[in-house]
Structure 1
């Protein structure tokens, strides 16, 4: 029995395909209508005599053509046929063709072939029971025409058999095409499901790649970018509030390492720093084979994180070492210092011996200072980072430094024109700045006789990474010593321990900042602290 809603349970994809096929089928009906109408002008008298009702055939042919032309104009005007429209149109089609079958020569005419085509098309266009209903209607009409013609027009009973065969053909076409349509529909559903799964998987892969901490770049053989994830863009071009255009080529530093890897793929390239970032990046390369040519996959790693982990391991080892040497060295050193102080108070010492005791005491104090710095480095706790507004915090620090230092110093402060936010442990930042300012004031006084220093706050070009420049008026650092200035125990001051700058850099690295010496001809000596983006957590 035909359901009340033919579209119930019909997949949307099948309905869309039926609408497209219905347009094609209607073009076919227009052509058939034109042929039927055109044939009216070429019938001979013997052919005319074979018609049951020529006038009815002429009227039916003209109506068939006019109806299909009208439907064609509706489709051209934008009508989107539903299943109900298709079913109604196919029923009218079958009824008109059976009317032409009756008015012509009966079941022996070629109109029966047109009915078979209509039934076949209907079972392709319609889904389920409507197609079977169309075959049953066609078989019933054809059989009724045959019986009527046998009774009223004394036709041969074989026409009833012939109409029965046509009915069987109608149902056979219906069931065969229904089965084929179901298979095609199932294949289409499977293809759509797989396409959906592939699209979801592609989206998932894209999200995973974009959220990875490792930078990923895909480039062609000529170095033109095909894809870059968010981590890679941060490592090469750190984010800023301004909208940055998407790069199309590799940065020059990365392009150089790509060219080097092509020549020697087995050799690991050296880390590099992009022009707008202080982050040191390690690039690794591999090829992606394609049907045509090769793409190159580049992995970018932030070596500061690896260095931070190595630093923690180093500090742990240093802590175990200093725990042992504290007892073995400080106790004898304390005895030496105490004995030297007692010896220096003796009235029997001549000036030469007095000078020797001063040397012993001074170097004993220096050794004790080295041990204190090493213990401080090994015992340093994990940074307790907080967001600081650098201009405000630095002004308060300068006021506290001048108030508690007990020295006369001239500190010039040049703040950033806008708010500069950083993420840093405030106590550790105070320790680093105190060390750098003490050094700067000391070297400025040695050269100029005045304790002067300048603190500048700014942002790196095209980024929102804040920095502090600590500029003194001292003699600067020679080019030979620049590469060693941050090494432990390296110093050019006979009274220094050589651990101040090393300790300051270690503290900055622990807070994901960078301490560098800026060799600028416009300044005598400048140390710069470049902070990580304040929204970036360690």
Structure 2
């Protein structure tokens, strides 16, 4: 079954409209492997039953147009030679043949005008009988061939016995007809020329008495002209078929290139084409996003060397070129991407490398193709697989635990009423504290479990953050002199003026849950001195490819504790992971689930050693005008 119809359909779907005249193509229209102009410039195959449009000025001429121009040039050269021969004969003192001289002048003028003057509008290229572009319509090329046949026949008739072999010159219109016309008209032209030769032979034979000789020569020449017409037509058909085949192949190649470009541009994995000098020849949008802390890296070509954040990647590429091989499962590389305000976000990437040329191959240069995967995405897929199986089970278990917990709490309350010794009261208090802890764990599991999610509406995030921070300071376990915001207090608060005028789509109680959890963790792992924690609310713009900049509210919680080790950072947001023996390991997991529920994002960033507060947890949520908030 042929693949051409579906590929043609795909090609038409993928074909983009050209930019206005005088404007460069947009950057987005460029292929992931450089510009696509090389493919877009290829001529598209004509639709069945339609005529191809005239070529644009300056465009390359089709093969048959070039052949036609060669014929026109040959006609002009022949006319000049005939005219020069007549003039030279007159200059040498021979008696001129005025009819031949006038005919030479007229023929030279006619061929020169066709060579110099542009073709009229009706003579522009169209799809001809041979299936390819022919330069003239039927009446135009018939007139051109007819002029040649008549003119050269008159020359032969006027001086059949001269030293000039005029019959061979008649091969020019026969050859032109064989190449430029269908088989039947070409044979017709050969027949007309043969009749002319036979007629002149009969006329000349009567005068010279060599009728049989002249007829034999004319017959042989006529047979040769028929052979020329047939062979030229066959070669022209083959040329037309080869041209159509090449044109179809180029169209399929262009369609395949556009299809490959679409697939690669839509890939979730990044694709880079890098040479030995660290120069990126091509990069798809996913790779550009992975190489940038925010937004996208610049479009290819660009240099990997010289950018501090990309040094681990450069070293890996150089080592790959030196070794000439790469682990089949890939290799993990960590990029310390610096975002705004010199914050550092460690982005773990898995690299898989394929070489386009072996080390011992001969060629101008070596290229390697890098397939880049974000380890966060890999971890997220694995986490989703694990949580999908655990979610419903945990929710069911939590519901079943509630009933026994309620019975234990009631029984403990009854026992507490009848206790008479401090030891017994201490035991009932211990039971009550652990029952409350189990209730909190059950509530956390139920909050994180999938369920019906309603639209929370918009809230003034800046106002809510201020209230939550004040409430947290009053409830936190810390010295009384640190229970304030600002200088001398445990908490430093910074709110941008633009952020104060924006709202976010988040449930107020869930935002309190997230922020209180982050503040508890920040205080627990900080130096617990004045200024150990900072809460910052800002508005930032993030630009995505092909989209306008989107404004986000960025809520950051800093603390001055020790930086989180890499092996701990990987599991920060995993359920039931905790560095404390009495921790449930659900705090940050609940924070992430609540943030994702409202379209927000939470992540950990690490700052340089020169900063006091090196640990930062960031919550970014889409921002909306505060006027629309209730």
Q: Is the 8 A contact 2:601 2:619 kept in 1?
A: yes
Indicate conservation of the 8 Å contact 1:383/1:428, yes or no. Answer: no
> More displaced, 154-163 or 295-304?
154-163
Shift of 1:274: 6.2
* The one of 414, 417, 420 aligned to 2:495: 414
How much has 1:402 moved relative to structure 2? 8.1
Q: How far apart in 2 are the matches of 1:12 and 1:346? A: 102
Equivalent residue number for residue 112 of structure 2: 69
Q: Do the aligned partners of 1:518 and 1:528 also contact (CA within 8 Å) in 2? A: no
How many pairs align?
512
Could you tell me which of 318, 324, 330 is aligned with 1:268?
330
Per-residue deviation at 1:312? 3.0
Q: Shift in Å at residue 118 of structure 1?
A: 3.0
TM-score (norm 1): 0.75
Q: How far is 1:230 from its partner?
A: 2.1
Shift of 1:528: 1.6
* Residues in 1 aligned to 2:380 and 2:54: alpha-carbon distance in whole angstroms: 56
1:178 aligned onto 2:233: yes
Taking the aligned partners of 1:31 and 1:187, their CA distance within structure 2 comes to 30
Q: RMSD between aligned alpha carbons?
A: 4.9
Equivalent residues of 1:139, 1:164 under 8 A apart = yes
Q: In structure 2, what is the equivalent of residue 527 of structure 1?
A: 617
Distance 1:56 1:286 in 2: 78
- Structure 1: runs of 5 or more not aligned: 1-7
Match of residue 602, structure 2, among 506, 514, 518: 514
Determine if contact 2:100/2:155 at 8 Å carries over to the other structure. Answer: yes
Change (3 A) 1:148 1:402: same
CA distance in 2, matches of 1:11, 1:366: 79
Q: Distance in 2 between matches of 1:523 and 1:274?
A: 18
Greater Rg over alpha carbons, structure? 1
Question: Quick check: 2:461–2:504 contact (8 Å CA) kept in 1?
Answer: no
CA displacement 1:21-69 (0-9 Å, x = unmatched):
233223323333343344446669xx979xxx93433333343334333
Residue equivalent to 1:255: 314
Look up the match of 1:395.
462
Change (3 A) 1:34 1:501: closer
Which shows bigger deviation, 70-79 or 23-32? Answer: 70-79
User: Between Structure 1 and Structure 2, which shows a larger proportion of helix residues?
Assistant: 1
Query: Does structure 1 residue 92 correspond to structure 2 residue 92?
Result: no
User: Given that residues 48 and 54 in structure 1 are in contact (C-alpha distance below 8 angstroms), is that contact kept between their aligned partners in structure 2?
Assistant: no
What is aligned with 1:501?
Answer: 588
SS at match of 1:206: helix
Counterpart check, 1:454 vs 2:513: no
Q: Work out the CA distance in 1 between the residues paired with 2:285 and 2:509.
A: 32
Partner of 1:5: none
Once residues 257 and 592 of structure 2 are traced to their aligned partners in structure 1, the CA distance between those partners, rounded to angstroms, is: 43
Structure 1's 102 and 325: CA in aligned 2 closer, same or farther, altered over 3 A?
Answer: closer
Residue in 2 aligned with 1:3?
A: none
SS at 1:175 equivalent: helix
Q: Does 2:519 match 1:431? A: no
List alignment gaps of at least 5 residues for structure 2. 1-48, 56-60, 125-134, 305-309, 340-344, 476-483, 486-491, 625-630
Q: Give the whole-Å Cα distance in 2 for the aligned partners of 1:239 and 1:525.
A: 19
**Cα distance between partner residues in 2 of 1:479 and 1:207:** 42
Q: Is the 8 A contact 1:236 1:274 kept in 2?
A: no
